[in-house]
Amino acid sequence: MKCILCGGEKRKVLYKIGKDRIYECRACGFIFAHSQTRLTHGYYEKVYWGNPDRAFYDYYYGRKLKGLHSFYLGKIEKYLGRKGKILDVGAGLGYFVREARKEGWMAEGIEPSEAASYFAKKSLSLNLIQTDWEDYFPKKKFEAAAIIHTLEHVSHPVRFLKKLSGFLTRSGIILIEVPNVKAPLAKIRGKGNFDPQSHKYYFSLSTLSRILEVAGYKVLEARTLQNQRTTLLFSIIKIKKSLRRKLEEKNQVSGKLNTIFILVGIVDNFLWPIKKLMEFFDWGEQLFVVAGKS
């Protein structure tokens, strides 16, 4: 198994997770997974988008991440110099596409999940293109593309980025956000930071920048972000599922969830100085990169 970044064949095992392995290339330090579990499309449907809850996602994406989506769009416009046609690759439930259209972009999204695409159409009145990136061949060029928590899932990031380049105009801009494998909190979590069945590749600022260069892009901005709600989100989901099981029949879910969301918002505000400190030292849990075609 050769490293997709440098072609090196020597690697060391970082973690053993069941039958799966997490490797680090000895030559360039790129971290990747080798899973013996053959995933079906239904795995992602169940794990990521099984029975989307409108109230929950409206709160989290529609309110909590609205500012973050605006931040992304502002960064793209800064380097592009204007608004134009933008493609969201791995659009999920469609909230980024919705925000982009509200801000004057001609936005489209592709999403392989049937459940997520259905949610976008029914709840947000968005017609996402339900397809995988390997089967997508647009008839028009885009000025920009957003790849938000998608690159870690694709089968081959370099091929993915090269194909995406063909979708863009000559001055096209891409924005990428992926988990930061070198973040202090990721290191503290150790083996728990890795999911070899769904996350195939694990990036640092240096390896993500190098992959972009190999794929024919020039990095314009690279930094880390610490969206403190990211860590808390998993706690919310666990509590939410537990509450749903206990309270669904009593029709008390909404009230309980609102209380949880208020408490999380208070904690978020308290953690704001820590968030800024982590971003200053590039310790954030997310990598944020803007790049243009070279």
At 63-75, the pLDDT tens digits run: 667 788 999 999 9
Amino acid found at 93: L
| 112-164 pLDDT, tens digit each | 988 889 889 988 999 999 998 889 999 999 999 999 999 999 989 999 999 99
The whole-number pLDDT of residue 260 equals 59
The whole-number pLDDT of residue 274 equals 75
Tell me if residue 68 falls in helix, strand or coil. helix
pLDDT over threshold 70, residue 292: yes
Q: What average pLDDT score do residues 73-96 get? A: 96
Edge-first strand listing for the sheet containing 142-148: 106-110, 85-89, 142-148, 168-179, 286-293, 217-225
Contact 157, 289 (CB under 8 A): no
Which bin fits 209, alpha (ψ -120 to 50), beta or left (φ > 0)? alpha
| 6-32 pLDDT, tens digit each | 999 999 999 999 889 999 999 999 999
The whole-number pLDDT of residue 188 equals 86
d(Cα 58, Cα 65) in Å, to the nearest integer?
Answer: 10
| 198-256 pLDDT, tens digit each | 899 999 999 999 999 999 999 999 999 986 554 444 444 444 555 444 444 444 444 55
Q: 107 exposed, middle or buried (CB, 10 Å; 0-12, 13-18, 19+)?
A: buried
Q: Is the pTM of this model over 0.75?
A: yes
Contact 15, 21 (CB under 8 A): yes
pLDDT band per the 50, 70, 90 thresholds, residue 41: low
The whole-number pLDDT of residue 248 equals 42
d(Cα 108, Cα 127) in Å, to the nearest integer?
Answer: 8
d(Cα 119, Cα 127) in Å, to the nearest integer?
Answer: 10
Closest CA to 12 of 49, 71, 4, 28: 28
The whole-number pLDDT of residue 235 equals 45
Contact 168, 145 (CB under 8 A): yes
d(Cα 151, Cα 244) in Å, to the nearest integer?
Answer: 32
Bridge partners of 225, per DSSP, are 286
Thinking of the domain 53-223+279-293, which architecture would CATH place it in? 3-Layer(aba) Sandwich (3.40)
Q: What average pLDDT score do residues 66-86 get? A: 95
Give Cα separations from 180 to 45, 74, 195 (angstroms): 24, 22, 14
Q: Domain map of the chain by residue range?
A: 53-223+279-293, 231-270
| Kind of pairing between the strands at 217-225 and 286-293 | antiparallel
| Kind of pairing between the strands at 168-179 and 142-148 | parallel
Question: What's the distance, Cα to Cα, between the start and end of the chain in Å?
Answer: 29
- For the record, the structure tokens of 241 come out as 């599922």
Closest CA to 237 of 47, 62, 68, 92: 47
Helix 229-247 and helix 253-270: axis angle, to 10°?
A: 160
Long-range contacts of 28-31 (CB under 8 A, 24+ apart): 28/3, 28/207, 28/210, 29/204, 29/206, 29/207, 30/3, 30/4, 30/5, 30/6, 30/201, 30/207, 31/181, 31/201, 31/202, 31/203, 31/204, 31/207
